Amino acid sequence: MAASSHRAAPEHTHPDEVPVPAALAALADPVRLTLVRELAGSADWSRSCGSFDVPVGKAALSHHFAVLRGAGLVEQRDEGPKRVNRLRRAEFDARFPGLLDLVLRGD
């Protein structure tokens, strides 16, 4: 496939469909936790996938974002050549009240 080919839109799971163990597993990984924390401190749709300071390659980063989407934590959309992200905080908080607050505190 040529580099300019259109990528398939990412699939998203709504937090209402996420079991508690899946949410906890997504947040247990240090790289994913870093992604969530950085997104929590950023405006929606302002962070492209490549803008995160994490010690993994592109393939691993794509996997981490897929896990976060599957856990209902992250929504992604394509804007030109970049895929941008937002933390689904309100939706996730409605499903798991207080969980993100605990995780983001970093205790």
Q: Tell me the per-residue pLDDT of 71-98, one tens digit each, with 9 for 90 and over.
A: 999 999 999 999 999 999 999 999 999 9
- Position 1 scores a pLDDT of 38
Cα pseudo-dihedral 29, 27, 61, 31, rounded to 10 = -50
Domains recognised in the chain with CATH numbers: 15-105 (1.10.10.10)
**Which residues make Cβ contacts (< 8 Å) with residue 50, sequence separation at least 6?**
58, 82
Q: Tokens in use for 96?
A: 């798991």
Please state whether beta strands 47-48 and 82-87 pair in parallel, antiparallel, or not at all (unpaired). Answer: antiparallel
Mean of all residue pLDDT scores within the chain = 91
- Position 10 scores a pLDDT of 85
The 10s digit of each residue's pLDDT in 22-73 is 999 999 999 999 999 999 999 999 999 999 999 999 999 999 999 999 999 9
- Position 7 scores a pLDDT of 74
Question: What type of residue sits at position 67?
Answer: V
Residue indicated by tokens 């996997």:
63
Helix axes 58-70, 30-40, angle to 10 degrees: 70
- Position 2 scores a pLDDT of 39
In which band, very low, low, confident or very high, does the pLDDT at 11 lie, cut at 50, 70 and 90? Answer: confident
Query: Contact, 45 vs 85, CB < 8 A?
Result: yes
